[in-house]
Amino acid sequence: MSEAQRYLIFLLLAVSVAGPVCAQQSVGSTPQSPLPKDSARPASAYTMSRSISTEIVDFTVDNLGNIYTLNKDNQLKKLNAAGDSLAVFNDVRRYGKISSIDATNPLKVLVYYREFTTIIELDRYLNIINTVDLRKLNILQAKAVSLAYDNNIWVYDELDAKLKRIGDDGSLVDQTTDFRQLFDSVPDPIVIRDQGGLVYLYDPAKGVYAFDHYGTLKTHLILPGWQDFDVIDKSILGRDNSKFYKYQLGTLDMQEEPIAAIYQGALRIRITPTVVYVLKKTGLEIYSHK
């Protein structure tokens, strides 16, 4: 299926969910970062403020500007916005390789070990404050976990095909209907984001599924093949190797912006309203507005 065909299907589906609205697609002539409209600036307005020249395999940031880096030895470090070390988590061998880090709440950082379907919760100093063994709930396969709006944990149980909300005590708080009853083709999400009253599941093959907190499907957006999926307010962000994409939920406003040369070769890109974080083989580059 061509890109044009996929986009047409996306428009038709969005109309059926959001109702008729005025469609508008804008392709920037100048490379830009796909930030929300009130803070979008051309890439030329961003300069590299600093870099962390060490081997980093993954990273995330919190809403205070702190950076959490994971190196090839599975060591997790917390740095402040200036790049100064604040804490180190060294208990790296207990559960194997770290699969993901969620710093949505800097006082409760989630570290997920997919091989053991186990989540550890860290405080602001990266000390362990809790461990949630999902195997005790018979959750044996789960690619995606995320902090929930109420400080519980979202987990997509692949074997049960359900999105589940798990408490700190390891109890099942809530769960959706079996996805096999909802969809002809069951989603296989690799990312979960809880933002603005909705829970977003991203499947690179099938696109975005948005649910309310009660597990009701609100929309399915056919946006396949994205990397670095994220949500800021009602803006859904992603990219491929050549373009940034931003879709405003509830509208037909899909923006495409060429990836600027300074971001080329990125392993991961994280967009925030004021800073762009770019992970490359040489380290983490941090771009700020002039």
Structure tokens at 104: 């949505």
Query: 244 CB contacts (<8 Å, ≥6 apart)?
Result: 32, 33, 34, 237, 238, 256, 257, 258, 259
Average pLDDT over all residues of the chain = 86
Q: Is the pLDDT higher at 273 or at 126?
A: 126
Which domains does the chain possess? Answer: 3-289 (2.120.10.30)
DSSP of 51-107: EE-S--SEEEE-TTS-EEEE-TT--EEEE-TTS-EEEEE---SSS-S--EEE-SSTT
Q: Write down the pLDDT at residue 28.
A: 33
Is residue 44 classed as helix, strand or coil in its secondary structure? Answer: helix
pLDDT digits (tens, 9 = 90+) for 159-194: 999 999 999 999 999 999 999 999 999 999 999 999
Band (45; pLDDT cuts 50, 70, 90)? low
pLDDT digits (tens, 9 = 90+) for 211-239: 999 999 999 999 999 999 999 998 999 99
DSSP label of 258: E
Q: Write down the pLDDT at residue 61.
A: 97
Q: Is pLDDT at 253 greater than 50 in this prediction?
A: yes
